[in-house]
Structures are given as structure tokens and as C-alpha cells.
Amino acid sequence: MNKDKRQIGFSLIEILVTILIMSIALLSSASLQMLSKRGNVDAAQRTTAAHLAGGLFSRMRANRAALANYIPAGTIGTGSVAVPAANCLNPAVVCTALQMAAFDMWQWEQHLDGQMEQVGGNGTGGLNLATACITGPAGGISGDYRIVIAWRGMVETSNPVIDGCGVGVQDYGTDNRYRRILVMQSFVSAG
């Protein structure tokens, strides 16, 4: 009698090793997905900040007569701009250049804070804990204008020391390690 001594099936140890290897692979994949999602959120926030800054420069160029009114005394964000007296989106209302600048700044801050898109009364768009600083030549003359937007990112990095906009105004973590900034500068010609 010739007995075939080949092993048939798997042993318990082989099954446990396979389960261990599969568990490590699945956990690694989940971790990679989480890191990727955080990176995507940070990239989306940076893109939003760039669109917001570019949009404000467009508004400033369209209303050059009131250019000085686009430079606030302090930082912008979390409801710091008062609701304007005139709703310049209403076709029945004819706004002056100053009223248009006030409306532009209020509406821009609403976009910055995410208040233009709401679900259940809560803002859903905008940037996370955003603040903005706008500087330019005094008196609204032609020159270089600068928009700095700061927000809270998803992961810790080093503090961007390029500009101090938002420092001490929002919670950007210990040593501002969650603070992200976008600096955009452009020449704007006065009316």
C-alpha cells in the first residue's frame, strides 16, 4: 500500500498568518485613505482661498472709485463686517460706489465664513476658522494691494511666518501649527 503523504488543506497556523497579513494590509490601506482625505481637504481649502482672493481683486477693479473702502481697519472674518444698508443685488436699488464697496465686503466675508451656503442654519462652505487681512496704498490710489487669508488646516505643520494675519484672532493650535495662509498681491489701478 502506497500512501500519499501530501498535505491536504491548510493548517491552523497558516490561516492565522494569512489573517494577520490581511489585517495589516487593510489597516495600512485605511490609514492611507485617511491621509489622502486630509490632503484633499487641505487642497480644497487652499483652492477656495485662492478663488476668494481673486474674486475680491475683481470686485476692487470693478469699483475703483471706492478702492479705499476695500481696506478694513482690522481683520475680516467671523462676522466682523456689518450688514450693509443697501442690498446691491436688488435690481430696484441703485447703489453708489461706497455702498457697493460695503456690500462687496459684507458678501465677501459671508463667502469667507461659509455663510452663503447653509444647511439647517449652519454655514457649510468657506474656510475653517478664516481671517483675512487686506492692505494697500492709503487713500485708495493706484498701487499694489495685498490680500492675506489665514485658516485652520487639518494637520500640523510649521507656523507660516510670512505674515501675521489671523495670529491671536483664531485658534490655530499650539505655536500656530494648524495655521495655513494664502498671500495674493496684485496691482489695482484707481478710477
In this structure, are residues 62 and 101 in contact, taking their beta carbons and an 8 Å threshold?
A: no
Looking at per-residue confidence, does 61 or 168 come out higher?
61
Helix pair angle (97-113, 12-62), 10° resolution: 170
pLDDT averaged over the chain? 88
Residues 6+ apart with CB under 8 A from 105: 69, 70, 72, 76, 81
Split at pLDDT 50, 70, 90, the class of 3 is low
Position 164: which residue type?
G
Residue 104, pLDDT score: 95
Pairing relationship of beta strands 131-135 and 143-152 according to DSSP bridges: antiparallel
Tell me the domain boundaries of the chain. 12-188
3-state DSSP assignment of residue 147: strand
